[in-house]
Structures are given as C-alpha cells and as structure tokens.
Amino acid sequence: MRDLFAVIMLSGIYSLIAASLFITMDAADVAFTEAAVGAGVSTLLLLKTLALVDRHESTGPTRPGLAITVVIATGALLAYGTLDMHPFGETHTPSNDHIAAYYLENSIEDTGVPNVVTSILASYRGFDTLGELIVIFTAGIGVIVLLGQTGTSDSEIRPAMRQHLVLRVVSKILIPFIMLFAFYVQFHGEYGPGGGFQAGVIFASAVILYSILFGPEAARSVFSNATTRILAVSGVLLFACTGIVSMLKGKAFLDYSALAEDPVSGQLLGILLVELGVGITVAAVLIRVFLEFDERRWQPDDQRGQS
C-alpha cells in the first residue's frame, strides 16, 4: 500500500481493535493506554509527520523477493518461538508462580491501593516506571533538538480551520471536559483503570485539539516553550525526588513507606506523587513534540528540504 495516509489510518484502527482485545482479556489499564496512545496521539503525530513529507511512498527500486524472504524467515522464527510457550491459560508458569502472586495477595496490605496495576507500576516496580519516564523525557529532548532549531512560526489560524465553525464550537464545549477527564484518570488511578501515562496523554490531546483548531499561537500562549520545558523536567524531578526523600528518611530509593508515619499512607502519598510526576512529564513532552512538529509545518520550503 503506497498511500501513507491510509497506512496511518489502518494502524490507528489496529490499535483500537487491540484495545478492544485487551478489554475482553480484562486488562483495562493496558487497553486504556493502547486506545489513548496508539489510536489517539500517535496517529495524530504520524499525520503531522505526513504533513511534512509526501503523502505517497516514493517508488524506488524495490526488491520484493528479499523482503518476502526476510518476512518469512522472521515469521518462521517467531512461530518456532511459540513452541516453547506455555499452553494458553496454564496456571503454573514462571510468570504466574514467581512474583505476581505476591503482588496480587499483598498489594492492598502493602500499599492500600485497590488497583494492583497501579501499585505494581508505581510502587513495586517504581524503578522501571522511572526508567520509562526518562525514556519519554529523552525522546522529547531528541525531538526538540532535531526539530526545534528554527523559531519562526505562523500566528495566523489556518484558513482551512477558520471555516470550521461547528468544529470550533463543539470543541470549545468538549475541551474542558476532556481536561476534567484527564484529571479524573490521573487522580482516580489508584481505584480504577488509568494513571499518569493515560492522563498525560489525554490532557495533551486536549491541548493538541485546541492548537489544531485555534492555531498553535493560542496553545503557545499557555504552553510556551519555556513552560513545557520546565513542566517536563519537573515531572521527572518530582518522581526522582520522591525516591530521594524516602532515601533520606532511611529506607531504600522509591520505598514510599518512609514518607509518612504509617507505611500504608506513605505508600499512598508516594504513589500519588509519582503518578503526578509521570502525568506532568508525559503531557508536557507530548504538547511540546506536537508544537514542534506544528512549527515545522510552516517553514519555507528551502529550509524544510534539509532534513
């Protein structure tokens, strides 16, 4: 398929179907992430990339024989790998016997969080989540370094968007509720599906929607380059400082039970702070990445060709 627009749309649909699949397997948090990130924001960013490059794939010299060989070889290897997998639904597997059972049994007593996914992500596996957050942060830095060199931007609302009166009115009604929902997901993550990652993505998509319809300058008046930079850094810092404070109080790094008198309420506080840090960084990085892409769109042609 050479029409890249259709490819992007299909990948978004694929993400949405995958999210439905996760829902049927009772993995609500994963489904939430897949729907928000895969079907929502990454589709948007890919479309934004498409605005920078050509819509159709360039027809260079292709070697279908080589491609098919590589695909078949990889597929055969993957199929061979499935032979070692456990039968579907088997209870006594390393992934079930090893440490997951401990998490499931002790999550409420240790952390007081009913949603085990949140307690694993933020508390038991706090190191991993900190690493993931730093990956996102680094990706944001990479995009800023690659795209953010030139500073000219267009303050005009695009002529195509000025005609969309219905879109603008409806989005003005909806955007506050999208942001409210983001905060709900953020602060309800201990009890229901959701958490910092999803909340950050939803909040960022509200701002992105606003910037699409009302022009990037309108979004920049709140989320300027300096603001997003400070927010992105402060989220990571909040996460890391929570760990360092628990270290200063005499426990291990990211062991939140040192944060309060009662270990459980310390865990709750720590998880809240850490999730907030994740949400702030994810939202700031995504907003900034989108705005960088947006600014790039309006470069004159001679500058655009160099990348």
Partner 1 sequence: MAETIVSFIAACLLLLGCLFCVTGAVGMIRFPNFFARVHATSVTDSLGAGLILIGLALLSDSATPVFKLLFILLFTLITAPTAVHALTKAAMHAGSHTASPIEELPASDEGGPSSKH
Binding residues for partner 1, rule: CB under 8 A, are 160, 163-164, 166-167, 170, 173-174
- The CA-based diameter of the chain, rounded to the nearest angstrom, is 68
- Cα 298 to its chain centre, rounded Å, is 26
Query: From the CB of 13, what's the least distance to partner 1, in Å?
Result: 14
Query: From the CB of 249, what's the least distance to partner 1, in Å?
Result: 40
**Cβ proximity to partner 1, 168 vs 251, nearer residue:** 168
Q: Choose among 302, 274, 287: nearest CA to 129.
A: 274
Query: From the CB of 167, what's the least distance to partner 1, in Å?
Result: 5
Query: From the CB of 20, what's the least distance to partner 1, in Å?
Result: 15
* Burial state string for 243-252 with b = 16 or more CB within 10 A and e = fewer than 16: bebbeeeebe
* Contact residues for 244 (Cβ-Cβ < 8 A; gap 6+): 253
Query: From the CB of 189, what's the least distance to partner 1, in Å?
Result: 18
**Cβ proximity to partner 1, 13 vs 104, nearer residue:** 13
* Total Cβ atoms within 10 A of residue 26: 8
**Cβ proximity to partner 1, 2 vs 86, nearer residue:** 2
**Cβ proximity to partner 1, 182 vs 236, nearer residue:** 182
Query: From the CB of 18, what's the least distance to partner 1, in Å?
Result: 21
**Cβ proximity to partner 1, 146 vs 170, nearer residue:** 170
**Cβ proximity to partner 1, 41 vs 213, nearer residue:** 213
